[in-house]
């Protein structure tokens, strides 16, 4: 056994002991619990409380309320991590020549016409379902990320059935980067919108504020045409939906690049480095 | 809590801890980069399942943390607090899934680039090739 093996073994055994000790000593509380933790009961009691609007979020979905309102900064930085990961992916794949198809006829690319038509019908359904997941995020389980992840199934299907070259004529890397940037701008605008409202109405306001707080009387509209929209939650969900959908589409477009567009460049790189 | 439920709770805890340790083993000892990435995703999933269990409530009836009325009364809220599970771990799991997915996609991109340069993802063969090119 060499030193690396011994150290790895020590790390595994010590993490096993640490986790077991933490659980046995009830660091996570009694599992499964029967009551509620104080923090959880605060969130559940205040998320939609028309009689006491001091800390409410105007959303009946407590998880969405926590994600984008009570712990909004967590999600903001999570979106930043996602943004940086996709930026990293595009940087890693920066070195490629745009691939060219041997044929220009659409009928020669991809699978048969039957599969293509069915994929188009399924594609419309995917867009509808994912948009509904994102737009109902403040009412039912779902939200921007879940909707975006559902939407990201669409480019994979299209790449398989239509081929990447057919997709490339309508959707390319640059357009996806622009759409993703628009989604992120939407998040940024929603985050600083309360500050503008506070400035106009001469009130205190916080960043990512949704509904009014005891010391900051700025709130975004909780209902639009008698439908519960949860203030800023729907705006953030829609922006996240666009950003995540475009981000994943970009990642899949890059992953589906043919090998021949890399080989030459990377071979040159290899001999230059070593 | 009855004996069988205590046993089941302990069983679920043991399983999630065992999954964590097995995934750590995969990260450290499996030489193939794809297997390392799979182990890391299993690690993240095990942690997420563990967090979901932490938020669970052993009561009947039990409900998700979603209010079903648009204008809840004080009585509605009291009933809601009696049955709803803890929403905090669910929100944290949601965040963890997004970050995990971003990190995994980045690792896949890196691994693909490694494959394009070395034509293998086996770390032993990569080390061999590097040694040979240094000589």
B 32-71 residues with CB < 8 A to A: 53-59, 64-71
pLDDT bucket at A272, cuts 50 / 70 / 90: low
Asked if A41 is an interface residue toward chain B (Cβ–Cβ < 8 A), one would say yes
CA count, 13 A, side-chain hemisphere, B122? 5
Closest Cα to residue A245, out of A161, A165, A156, A168? A156
CA distance A207 to A191: 6
- pLDDT exceeds cutoff 70 at A266: no
Total structural domains in chain B? Answer: 1
For testing contact with chain B, the best of A9, A48, A51 (most B CBs within 10 A):
A48
What's residue A122's pLDDT?
95
What's residue A211's pLDDT?
87
A201-207 average pLDDT score: 89
Q: Which domain holds residue B59?
A: 3-134
pLDDT bucket at A274, cuts 50 / 70 / 90: very low
* DSSP string of A69-91, one letter each residue: IITHHHHHHHHHHHHHHHHHHHH
- Quick one: what percent of chain A has pLDDT higher than 90? 32
- Show residues of chain B in contact with A251, CB under 8 Å: 105, 109
Asked if A131 is an interface residue toward chain B (Cβ–Cβ < 8 A), one would say no
What's residue A243's pLDDT?
93
Query: B31-85, pLDDT tens digit by residue?
Result: 999 999 999 999 999 999 988 888 888 888 889 999 888 888 889 999 999 999 9
Distance from CA of A209 to the nearest CA of B (A): 18
Question: Are B70 and A60 an interchain contact pair (Cβ–Cβ within 8 Å)?
Answer: yes
CA distance A206 to A202: 13
Helical ranges in chain A per DSSP H: 3-24, 38-46, 62-65, 72-92, 113-135, 144-151, 153-162, 164-168, 173-201, 233-255, 260-273
What's residue A196's pLDDT?
92
- pLDDT exceeds cutoff 50 at B17: yes
- pTM listed for this prediction: 0.89
- pLDDT exceeds cutoff 70 at A104: no
Among A29-33, A126-130, A147-151, A218-222, which is the least confidently predicted range?
Answer: A29-33
- Show residues of chain A in contact with B24, CB under 8 Å: 11-12, 15
Rg, Å, chain A Cα set:
24
Question: Are B87 and A44 an interchain contact pair (Cβ–Cβ within 8 Å)?
Answer: yes
What's residue B70's pLDDT?
84
Burial A165-188 (b: 16+ CB within 10 A, else e): bbbbeebebeebbebbeebbebbe
CA distance A218 to A212: 5
Nearest CA in chain B to A138: B66
Query: A148-196, pLDDT tens digit by residue?
Result: 999 999 999 998 898 887 777 778 788 888 999 999 999 999 999 999 9
Nearest CA in chain A to B61: A34
Distance from CA of B32 to the nearest CA of A (A): 16
> Which CATH number covers residue B87?
1.10.287.3510
């Amino acid at each position: 056994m060499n030193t690396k093996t011994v150290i790895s073994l020590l790390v595994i055994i010590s993490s096993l002991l640490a986790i077991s000790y933490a659980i046995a000593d009830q660091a996570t509380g009694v599992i499964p619990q029967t009551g509620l933790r104080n923090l959880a009961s605060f969130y559940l009691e205040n998320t939609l409380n028309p009689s006491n609007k001091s800390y409410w979020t105007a959303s009946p979905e407590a998880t969405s309320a926590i994600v984008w309102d009570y712990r909004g900064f967590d999600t903001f930085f999570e979106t930043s991590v996602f943004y940086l990961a996709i930026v990293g992916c595009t940087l890693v794949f920066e070195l490629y020549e745009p691939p060219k198809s041997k044929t220009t006829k659409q009928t020669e690319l991809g699978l048969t016409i039957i599969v293509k038509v069915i994929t188009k019908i399924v594609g419309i359904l995917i867009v509808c379902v994912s948009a509904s997941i994102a737009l109902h995020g403040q009412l039912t389980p779902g939200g921007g990320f879940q909707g975006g992840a559902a939407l990201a199934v669409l480019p994979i299907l299209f790449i398989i059935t239509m081929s990447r070259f057919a997709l490339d004529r309508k959707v390319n890397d640059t357009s996806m980067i622009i759409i993703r940037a628009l989604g992120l701008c939407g998040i940024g605008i929603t985050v600083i919108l309360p500050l503008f409202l506070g400035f106009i109405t001469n009130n205190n306001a916080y960043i990512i504020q949704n509904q009014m707080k005891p010391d900051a009387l700025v709130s975004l509209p909780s209902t639009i045409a008698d439908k519960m929209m949860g203030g800023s939650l729907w705006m953030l969900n829609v922006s996240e939906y666009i950003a995540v959908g475009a981000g994943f589409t970009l990642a899949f477009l890059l992953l589906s690049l043919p090998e021949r567009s890399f080989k030459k460049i990377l071979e040159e790189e290899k001999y230059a480095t070593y | 809590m009855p004996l069988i439920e205590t046993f089941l709770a302990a069983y679920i805890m043991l399983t999630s801890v065992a999954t964590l340790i097995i995934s750590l083993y995969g990260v450290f000892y499996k030489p193939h980069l794809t297997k390392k990435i799979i182990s890391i995703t299993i690690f993240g999933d095990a942690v997420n399942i563990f967090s979901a269990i932490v938020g669970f409530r052993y009561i009947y009836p039990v409900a998700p943390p979603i209010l079903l009325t648009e204008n809840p009364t004080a009585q509605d809220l009291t009933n809601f607090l009696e049955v709803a599970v803890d929403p905090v771990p669910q929100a944290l799991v949601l965040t963890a899934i997004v970050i995990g997915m971003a990190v995994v996609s980045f690792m896949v991109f890196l691994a693909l680039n490694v494959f394009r340069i070395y034509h293998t993802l086996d770390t032993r063969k990569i080390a061999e090739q590097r040694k040979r090119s240094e000589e």
